[in-house]
Chains A and B, each alone.
Chain A
Amino acid sequence: MFGILKSEFTKILTLRSTYIVFGVLVLFAILGGIIAGYSPASDSGKVFVSTTVFQSAISGVLTLSIGVFAIVSSLVIMNEYRHNTIAYTLTASRSRLTVFLAKVITVIAYGLTVALALSLIAVLSATVMLAISGGTVTTQKVEIGALILHLGLYVSFYMLVGLFLGFILRNIIVVIVIIFALPVVENLLSIALKEGALYLPFRSFGALASTGEAAASASVVVTAFAYLLGLAALAVVLFVKRDA
């Protein structure tokens, strides 16, 4: 298992596209930090700084880039089929479940690491912007525990959704359409469904990112987990039963 895990990380780290995507996400993070930290002076010349600049910067950049996270995650398995390396991967292990588990661990670890890096960059960028605006950082209120829990869960969910869709569909175009188009469809549906829209798949995943008073209710969280487990079960069955 350890060897397969090492191999999975090497697969990600030995492709230039990994770094190109990360570079783009870093730009998102810098931009997110600038937007969150921008605090224009009022007419009286006093600078008003929100107490949640950092939290906004982090949430903003992760929400903005979460679709990319999911696509990258789906490629962890889809590239194997696309380039026919799946035969090597499967014959390196005695069980397909081991391969499945290794990929799950890899995408979560990779996603959380990148999310942490982007969060730090966003905070740094917001700090610089605050300093330029004349605001003070000491007024910030950051719920570290809740932030880590909610955003960690949010990122992990999207990484897993991308991965499971990759296992199930094996088609990058369809995965991209689902990840980017379905949330739009859900937003349209929310006009009719109102509060009930929170129980739609991507709305429930998105609700995981909110903290404090805006945090998702227990029933929404349970719904999100149910969707994820359903996808996981389908992905496992198809991965084990289907021809490679």
Chain B
Amino acid sequence: MITAQNLTKTYGSKVVVNNISFTVEDGKITGFLGPNGAGKSTTMRAMLGLDNAQGSTLYDGAPLSGYEQPSQVVGILLDAKSFHPKRSARNHLKVLAQASNIPLTRVDEVLSLVGLQDVANKKPGKFSLGMAQRLGIAAAILGQPKHLILDEPANGLDPEGIHWLRDFLHAYVANGNSVLISSHLLSEMQLMAHNLVVIGKGTMIANQSVDSFIQSASTGAVFVRTTDLNALATQLTQRGIVWVGERNGLKVTGATSDQLSALLFELGMPVLELAAENVSLEDAFLKMTAGAQEYRATPGGQN
């Protein structure tokens, strides 16, 4: 388990990470979300001791400096293009393996695992972003670490690559490992992550499971459509249930779809449409981070 405690990072008078604490549980993928400039990358760098920050991060109860080979405790991918562009992919990984006393046979293993075996001797300077990401993932898993910290590893990956990454990470945590992953691909994160840590402007917004995060953003509204909307509206009002007219039906809050179904049956009205509001992670994220965005574009592309 990774435990980040009271992480705070300032640049001059600007506080970019403000007293953030969270855990990355074993056996689970923890998504790390936040708008641009929220402080996600800075938090990750602080967790690894790359940036000097206040607070501490413990990996299974000990700081990273307490391990003889830190890169065999935590694998990192902070920037897809973290390699010398003129050093071949194989040699790049060989350098990392030697520094961490990892057997060199592991280099070809991870290259095969990420599908880069055919370009192992090519210089990565000309790699596409997706290929660079794969090389970064290979570097992260080189030492078979228990923990992974990945900063937007899905960026630039093709659909097959994203699918592979999702399956790979699920298999990775199934062995009791933990993964902290940041991404702006929220639909992908909804499929991939078990827990979420959401920050905005350097402060904690949410730290919970994906399901409860989505649930907390949901109004619980149910859309219902039947033949006599006026009669239904009257009945709802009499029962103290709130509704508003929407399209050619009613948006009802304060009653579940089961309750509404039973009411319509009782009233002898046919059910033409009955659907609980479907809140996506994106909807929940936008709702929860509204006002916590460092950079905001002009709505609708207006100028």
Contact = CB atoms under 8 A, between A and B. Distances in A.
A91 interface: yes
A27 to B, nearest CB: 22
Given A83-B83, A91-B71, A243 B95 contact: no
B86 A15 contact: yes
Contacts of A86: 50
A90 B52 contact: no
Interface stretch (B59-67, B167-175, B195-203, B266-274): B59-67
Nearest to A241: B52
B238 interface: no
Contact of A17 (B51, B64, B66, B86): B86
Nearest to B53: A243
A83 B68 contact: no
Contacts of B79: 84, 87
Interface of B is mostly: loop
B42 to A, nearest CB: 9
Contact of B87 (A4, A15, A90, A241): A15
A172 B81 CA distance: 20
Nearest to A243: B51
Interface string B64-99: 111111110010101101111111100100111011
Contacts of A83: 81-85
A93 interface: yes
Contacts of A88: 71, 76, 82, 96, 99, 139
B99 A14 contact: no
A92 B88 contact: no
Interface in B118-164: 139
B98 A10 contact: yes
Contacts of A14: 87-88, 91, 94-95
Given A3-B98, A91-B76, A94-B66, A84 B81 contact: yes
A243 B82 contact: no
A240 B275 CA distance: 58
B82 A85 contact: yes
B76 A94 contact: no
A84 B45 CA distance: 12
Contact of A92 (B82, B84, B91, B96): B96
B88 A7 contact: no
A83 B76 CA distance: 15
A84 B77 CA distance: 11
B65 A7 contact: no
Interface of A: 3-4, 6-7, 10-11, 14-17, 79, 83-95, 241-244
Q: Which 8 A-B pairs have the closest CB atoms?
A: A7-B99, A92-B99, A7-B98, A14-B91, A84-B82, A244-B50, A243-B51, A3-B101
13 contacts: A4-B99, A6-B98, A10-B95, A15-B84, A83-B83, A84-B78, A85-B83, A88-B82, A89-B99, A91-B48, A92-B96, A92-B99, A242-B52
Given A90-B48, A91-B49, 19 more contacts: A4-B99, A6-B98, A7-B96, A7-B98, A10-B95, A14-B91, A83-B83, A84-B82, A85-B84, A87-B50, A87-B76, A87-B78, A88-B82, A91-B48, A91-B74, A93-B70, A94-B66, A244-B45, A244-B50
Interface of B: 45, 48-52, 64-71, 74, 76, 78-79, 81-88, 91, 94-96, 98-101, 139
